[in-house]
Amino acid sequence: MSRSDVLVDAEWVEAHGGDPGVVLVEVDEDTSAYDKGHIRNAVKIDWKKDLQDPVRRDFVDRAGFDALLSERGISNDDTVVLYGGNNNWFAAYAYWYFKLYGHDKVQLLDGGRKKWELESRELVTEVPQRAKTSYHASEQDSSLRAFRDEVVSAIGGQNLVDVRSPDEFAGRLLAPAHLPQEQAQRGGHIPTAKNVPWSKAADEDGTFKSDDALAAIYGDAGVDFSKDTIAYCRIGERSAHTWFVLHELLGQPNVKNYDGSWTEYGSLVGVPIEVGP
């Protein structure tokens, strides 16, 4: 696995975004940005409506994923290029999600929507018409996803990487500072977790830092690359960004994303919590 296998740049997208076998997908929690303008040929996936079960707190099941991708006109052997807002958080989450369901060829547009916009590249409102397909997902790959009991067992043993902001890690904030501060959970972090905010991995334009810089960031923070790793944040999308860095860019073999993250852990009865930096 190398960087060029998992990342593409804007020039590549401009040259190949309409090629047969390539599907551009804009992914966001709020798809109103897509509706106002998106990269030519891109279809949209709504992180909430399309990827989350409407009743239970869980993903759509395998049949649901099959139906979604078939309806969007995505085939099993297509190269799916994902991008989105929020510095590609939701695109990285979708990348992890596609991998979880066994999609082979997935890539992220480095810098996502932000870099594209800041460079004043073309955005269109025309929605591409893609013929329906018959998509067949694999069973979820459990080696990529962590659940709560596994997280509690990992305390003091595996690397736990808390990718939220230092204020959230310390318990001073309960949500990212672009959202009102909720009171549902206790503040703080999982004991022994290292705080490496997701944003350390990205430059200001949203692109990922070099592999050497990334390795130094996690190494200096105390992440032991000889151990297995679980990344978490508040609901699992910022940590999908870090999962991408550790597993896909740095090639660490055993990295899981804990999508229950702080909104689950911070509400569990009886589990240990640390506060402060």
Q: Which residues are catalytic?
A: 233
- Span from 67-75, 174-182, 213-221, 244-252 in contact with other proteins (CB under 8 A): 174-182
Element of type H or E holding 8: strand 7-8
189 beta partners: 274
By CB under 8 A, tell whether 118 contacts other proteins. yes
DSSP notation for 219-262: HHTT--TTS-EEEE-SSSSHHHHHHIIIIIIS--SSEEE-SSHH
Q: What does the DSSP 8-state code read for residue 186?
A: -
Q: Using the rule CB under 8 A, which residue among 18, 166, 253, 277 binds other proteins?
A: 166
The answer to whether residue 232 forms part of the interface with other proteins (CB under 8 A) is no
Q: Which is nearer to other proteins, 117 or 274 (CB)?
A: 117
Binding-site member from 120, 125, 134, 226 for other proteins (CB under 8 A): 120
Does position 237 interact with other proteins (CB under 8 A)? The reply is yes
Q: Contact region for other proteins (CB under 8 A) — 98-106, 111-119, 138-146, 218-226?
A: 111-119
Among 91, 173, 193, 215, binds other proteins (CB under 8 A): 173
Residues in the chain: 277
Burial of 76 (0-12, 13-18, 19+ CB in 10 A): middle
Instruction: Phi first, then psi: give them for residue 267, nearest 5 degrees.
Output: -110, -5
Residues that bind other proteins (CB under 8 A): 28-30, 32-33, 47-48, 52, 57, 85-87, 89-90, 114, 117-120, 165-167, 172-182, 184, 197, 199, 204-205, 233-235, 237-238, 263
